[in-house]
């Protein structure tokens, strides 16, 4: 297979399916203490990723385990930088102690969404990552503030969400709304294939919006996530497309 697709998944968050998901994905985004995760889970997830030759990235968030990092937090720029830096460096040290290496950064939850829309938050994140002086790939939403500010400074990977519906303005449909998640494997495939092949997202309204995605996320806490990704493997293979882990 010459054509490849890149699939990522947020892991190390206390979910039940990490071991089943890891062999099916290209990259994992490992919770590093902000919204979930601790030293034990980080070590375990790093070892699991290395066993299956899966790219490892840090998945920092607002420091808010109570709300799983899904609510905006008011923080000073300095406090936010210190938190993000601490989360990333903690996982980096653990990965290196296990003989591995972090390849990328993907923000989590409310911080991901805020950096997409809020120029100030996006700038704080970019400055924080610049100060780390690491050659990390940065996963960013399509048509986002953070992608604009990070362009030319980092190797950007534009991300499409396989199991989430979009609005016409590129925002994800809120998890508080009934149509936020796409859980039927056939619909997930149609959604991803449109982004992969046609470079278009079909918004919940039916309108198609331009979108070039380099990687596609399936959330580990989405119902039947293992079945969904296994189905994606089979359907893409039928079209001569493999799932990369390089």
Fill in the DSSP letter of residue 174.
Answer: P
Average pLDDT of the residues in 198-217: 96
Residues 6+ away with beta carbon under 8 Å from 74: none
Whether 171 and 124 have beta carbons less than 8 Å apart is answered as no
Number of other residues whose CB lies within 10 A of the CB of residue 2: 6
pLDDT at 1 exceeding the cut of 60: no
pLDDT digits (tens, 9 = 90+) for 71-127: 999 999 999 999 999 999 999 999 999 999 999 999 999 999 999 999 999 999 999
Which pLDDT score, from 0 to 100, does residue 25 have? 98
Cα separations in angstroms, 23 against 11, 81, 87, 137, 160 = 12, 33, 25, 21, 20
Range of the domain at 131: 3-243
The fraction of the chain above a pLDDT of 90, given in percent, is 96
What is the rounded CA–CA span in Å between residue 14 and residue 22?
A: 14
Give SS3 for 67. coil
* Structural domains counted in the chain: 1
CATH of the domain at 16: 3.20.20.370
Residue of 41 and 175 predicted with greater confidence? 41
Dihedral (CA of 38, 136, 166, 186) sign: negative
pLDDT of residue 2: 77
Evaluate if residue 218 carries a pLDDT over 90. yes
Give the Cβ contact number of residue 201 at 10 Å.
Answer: 24
pLDDT confidence of residue 246: 52
Residues near 22 by beta carbon (within 8 Å), at least 6 away in sequence: 11, 28, 48, 49, 51, 52, 54
CB atoms within 10 A of CB 152: 6
Mean predicted confidence (pLDDT) in 139-152: 97
Predicted confidence band of residue 245 (pLDDT cuts 50, 70, 90):
confident
Q: Which two tokens mark 241?
A: 């497309």
- Tokens at residue 69, please? 């990092």
Average pLDDT, rounded, for the chain: 96
């Amino acid at each position: 297979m010459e054509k490849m697709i890149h699939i990522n998944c947020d892991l190390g968050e206390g979910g039940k399916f990490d071991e089943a998901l890891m062999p099916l994905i290209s990259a994992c985004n490992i919770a590093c203490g902000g919204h979930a995760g601790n030293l034990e889970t980080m070590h375990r997830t790093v070892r699991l990723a290395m066993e299956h030759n899966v790219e490892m990235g840090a998945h920092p968030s607002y420091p808010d385990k109570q709300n799983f990092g899904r609510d905006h937090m008011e923080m000073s720029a300095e406090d936010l930088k210190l938190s993000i830096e601490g989360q990333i460096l903690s996982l980096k040290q653990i990965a290196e102690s296990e003989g591995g290496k972090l390849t990328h950064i993907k923000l989590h939850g409310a911080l991901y969404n805020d950096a997409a829309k809020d120029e100030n938050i996006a700038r704080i994140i970019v400055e924080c990552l610049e100060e780390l002086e690491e050659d990390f790939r940065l996963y960013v939403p399509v048509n986002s503030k953070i992608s604009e500010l990070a362009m030319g400074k980092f190797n950007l990977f534009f991300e499409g969400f396989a199991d989430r519906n979009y609005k016409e303005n590129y925002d994800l449909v809120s998890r508080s709304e009934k149509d936020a998640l796409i859980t039927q494997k056939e619909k997930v495939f149609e959604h991803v294939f449109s982004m992969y092949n046609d470079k278009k997202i079909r918004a919940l309204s039916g309108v198609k919006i331009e979108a070039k995605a380099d990687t596609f996320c399936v959330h580990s806490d989405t119902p039947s996530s293992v079945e969904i990704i296994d189905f994606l493997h089979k359907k893409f293979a039928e079209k001569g497309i493999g799932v990369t882990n390089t």
